[in-house]
Amino acid sequence: MTTKLNMTIERSSVELTKDDFVSDQMVKWCPGCGSHAILSSVANVFPKLGYRKENIMMVSGIGCSSRFPYYLNTYGIHGIHGRAAAISSGVKIANPHLSVWMATGDGDSLAIGGNHFIHIIRRNIDINIVLFNNQIYGLTKGQYSPTTPMGSVTKTSPQGTIEHPFNPGELVLGAQGTFFARVPDSNPRLMTEVMFEAAKHDGTSIIEVLENCVIFADKTHDMITNKEFRDDRQIVLRNGEPMIFGKNKDKGIRLNGTRLEVVTLGENGFSEDDLLVHDMYQQDPGIHLMLAKMSFPHFPVAMGVIRAAMYPTYDDMVEEQITFAKQNSKIKSVDDLLNSGDTWEIK
């Protein structure tokens, strides 16, 4: 199964490059912040889409991630805390011919913006959401967020946080998400691939980026992203390929009854034929949910596109309703409206 880029969005008449999408604003993120890699990946993806710059909109809320619109040479809206999803929804519904992107953090989208976040997913509006997950509030100087690991000592949890953190993938699929991907900020090539797949998807796409905050949560993802052992603690999913991972490509994921299981190829008679083959287009979210929930040390963490199921989108259905109303309504103008229903003359 393949999907195509939105052909209703106006194409550029000239070939664009990454430089065309880089703004003249000074990037004010801390040196070493993972946001730099995310920005570079987005700037790499945009020219590949072939859209006019004027037809791309970047929306953000509040937080370090939300400086994003300033750093891209496109149209943009720097919104208010937690409301980027609501603004993005309005933009896309008002003008379906825009490619709408949203930059948000784990605090911005999963705490104050949590309600908007789950409902934009449930509605399946054609918007691409890049979720910067550094497991901390960085802009406001180190408070714990909805994804901070339990027990973490932060400015607002001096004895360790006692809240159970969200797994963004589990949350997205629980909200009936049609597209979810995960990628570390240390793998810009994979990040670019995933963002392009998100752009091709017709519906709400969520890209969780495991981002490092060098100031307030340094190495928060290190146990799975450190280059010394990342091959054994990550699995990059490729559609149509068996789920193999490990430094020596000798480990795999199989379905044992109703549960996933890590096996070693060559041991106990296990071969590639016993492994799950990734189907990101599967409508049933059951396997996708299990993949999104995998965590170290019992499993490798799933990277790449986990789910990309096709369902009708909210914005397309709104357009269909508007078209139907225009074709079937007896009221074609304001005059028709004012002269409809009960009318009378005053003498």
CATH of the domain at 110: 3.40.50.970
Instruction: Quote the CA–CA distance of 124 and 307 in Å, as a whole number.
Output: 14
Look at residues 18, 114, 15, 104 and name the one whose alpha carbon lies nearest to residue 64: 104
Instruction: Say whether 199 sits in a helix, a strand or coil.
Output: helix
Identify whether 118 is part of a domain.
Answer: yes
Residue 149 falls within a domain, yes or no?
yes
Q: Which tens digits make up the pLDDT trace of 313-327?
A: 999 999 999 999 989
pLDDT digits (tens, 9 = 90+) for 123-134: 999 999 999 999
Structural domain harbouring 117: 18-220+310-324
Helix axis angle, 114-123 relative to 84-94, nearest 10°? 30
- With respect to residue 331, please indicate whether it lies within any of the assigned structural domains: no
Q: What is the mean pLDDT of residues 165-194?
A: 97
**pLDDT tens, position by position, 184-197:** 999 999 999 999 99
- Measure the CA–CA gap between 110 and 117, rounded to whole angstroms: 7
| CA nearest to 307, candidates 114, 104, 169, 147 | 169
Number of domains in the chain: 1
pTM above threshold 0.75: yes
DSSP 70: G
Residue 10 has a pLDDT of: 86
Distance between CA atoms of 77 and 61, rounded to whole angstroms?
9
Where do the H-state alpha helices sit in 79-237? 84-94, 106-107, 114-123, 168-174, 188-200, 222-225, 230-233
Count CB-CB contacts under 10 A for residue 317.
12
26 belongs to a structural domain: yes
Specify the DSSP class assigned to residue 110.
I
pLDDT, tens only, 21-65: 999 999 999 999 999 999 999 999 999 999 999 999 999 999 999
| Helix, strand and coil in the chain, % to nearest 5 | 35, 20, 45
Q: Supply the pLDDT for residue 4.
A: 56
> Of all helices (H) and strands (E), which one includes residue 58?
strand 56-60
* Lowest pLDDT segment from 12-16, 224-228, 264-268: 12-16
32 domain residue, yes or no: yes
The answer to whether the bond into 297 is cis (omega within 30° of 0) is yes
Residue 336 lies in a domain: no
Phi, psi of 254 (to 5 degrees): -125, 160
**105, 129 contact by CB (below 8 A):** no
239 assigned to some structural domain: no
Please indicate, yes or no, if residue 122 is contained in any of the structural domains: yes
Q: How far apart are CA 92 and CA 133, in angstroms?
A: 24
**Strand residues in 204-300 grouped as ranges (E):** 205-210, 234-236, 244-245, 251-256, 259-264
